């Protein structure tokens, strides 16, 4: 497909998205405005407040979990909105592979509900970088779509160019747990000095956290003082 055809198809999808009456993105019933009906919204798998503040997995009464105490990751904190289970998994896949703007709008609006938990000293928002090849394929970076409304509301700058993804790591879901933990080393490059800065990294899904850990390691190597992750969904703890 030529670039022009792809652009036209994307434009048409956007126009239809705006013109068509909204059905609930989960159950297909009529939904008012936000894309998900009230019944489905009430059932969304929100993360418990007792989660580990560092990795967002279940913790002990809001304190860091055993794993984070034993082997602290390079990032300092994680805010996660939902468990990565139905229907959040379906919504995220629709966002990523079908570029459903209504999904981006809904998830970005939900993400903004975590706004008051974002530390006041955050210096900028960094959407998880996408490898250039994947960006060309997909035509957009879903993390940017999620971060943009938040950046606007929080009056925070959004940095798009300071980190590049060097290696096109395979989708985390296609790897075994061991491979996932090993795969992202050396995957990012940052050329900007970040001395003393607090970076808020926005991503759609946190699986093992290995990619976010590697990105945080890269940011800390450039002098970042603190890295907080803000993700739409977190894979629940492995059984």
Decide the pairing of beta strands 226-234 and 77-83: parallel
Regarding 216 and contact with Zn ion (CB under 5 A), the answer is no
Regarding 25 and contact with Zn ion (CB under 5 A), the answer is no
Closest CB to Zn ion among residues 76, 204: 76
Residues 69-128 that bind Zn ion (CB under 5 A): none
Binding mask 154-173 for Zn ion (x = CB under 5 A): --------------------
Interface pick for Zn ion out of 51, 54, 88, 125 (rule CB under 5 A): 54
Regarding 212 and contact with Zn ion (CB under 5 A), the answer is no
Counting DSSP H helices and E strands in the chain, the numbers are 9, 6
* Local structure of 67: helix, strand or coil: helix
* Local structure of 188: helix, strand or coil: strand
Query: Largest alpha-carbon pair distance within the chain?
Result: 54
Mark the segment that binds Zn ion (CB under 5 A) among 68-76, 117-125, 155-163, 180-188: 68-76
CA dihedral 43, 45, 49, 51 (to 10 degrees): 160
Cβ–Cβ under 8 Å, residues 128 and 184: no
Closest CB to Zn ion among residues 93, 162: 93
Regarding 55 and contact with Zn ion (CB under 5 A), the answer is yes
Interface pick for Zn ion out of 40, 94, 162, 225 (rule CB under 5 A): 40
């Amino acid at each position: 497909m030529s670039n022009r055809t792809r652009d036209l198809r994307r434009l048409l999808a956007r126009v239809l998205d705006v013109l068509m009456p909204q059905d609930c993105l989960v159950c297909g019933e009529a939904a008012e405005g936000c894309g998900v009906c009230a019944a489905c919204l009430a059932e969304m798998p929100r993360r418990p407040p007792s989660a580990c503040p560092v990795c967002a997995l279940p913790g002990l009464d809001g304190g860091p979990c055993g794993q984070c105490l034993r082997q602290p990751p390079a990032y300092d904190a994680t805010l996660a909105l939902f468990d990565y289970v139905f229907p959040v998994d379906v919504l995220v896949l629709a966002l990523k592979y079908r570029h459903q703007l209504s999904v981006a709008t809904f998830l970005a609006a939900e993400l903004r509900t975590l706004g008051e938990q974002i530390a006041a000293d955050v210096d900028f928002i960094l959407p998880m970088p996408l490898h250039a090849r994947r960006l060309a394929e997909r035509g957009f970076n879903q993390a940017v779509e999620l971060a943009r409304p938040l950046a606007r509301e929080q009056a925070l700058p959004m940095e798009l160019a300071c980190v590049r993804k060097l290696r096109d790591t395979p989708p985390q879901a296609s790897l075994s747990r061991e491979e996932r933990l090993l795969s992202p080393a050396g995957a990012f490059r940052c050329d900007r000095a970040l001395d003393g800065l607090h970076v808020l990294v926005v991503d759609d899904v946190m699986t093992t956290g290995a990619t976010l850990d590697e990105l945080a390691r890269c940011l800390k190597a450039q002098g970042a003082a603190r890295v907080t992750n803000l993700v739409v969904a977190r894979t629940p703890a492995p059984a």
